[in-house]
Amino acid sequence: MQIIRHHMQDYPDSVIEQEAIVSEILTDASQSTLILTEHPPVFTIGTSGSEQDILHREIDGEEIAIFPTGRGGEVTYHGPGQLVCYVIADLSAEKDLHKHVWRLEEMVIRTLADFNIQADRNPRGIGVWVNDLKIAAAGVRCRKWISFHGIALNIHPNLKHFSGIVPCGMHDTPVTSMHALGCEIDRTAVENTLISHAKTLFSTPL
- Which residues carry out catalysis? 168
DSSP-based helix, strand, coil % in the chain, nearest 5: 30, 30, 40
* 175 DSSP β-pair partners: 134
Could you list the beta-strand ranges (E) of the chain: 2-5, 33-37, 42-45, 58-59, 62-63, 65-68, 75-78, 82-90, 120-122, 125-130, 133-143, 146-154
Could you list the beta-strand ranges (E) of 10-119: 33-37, 42-45, 58-59, 62-63, 65-68, 75-78, 82-90
Chain centre distance of CA 92: 22
What Å distances lie between residue 60 and 45, 65, 158, 179, CA to CA?
22, 14, 11, 20
Q: Does residue 121 sit in helix, strand or coil?
A: strand
> Could you tell me if 9 and 38 are in contact, meaning their C-beta atoms sit under 8 angstroms apart?
yes
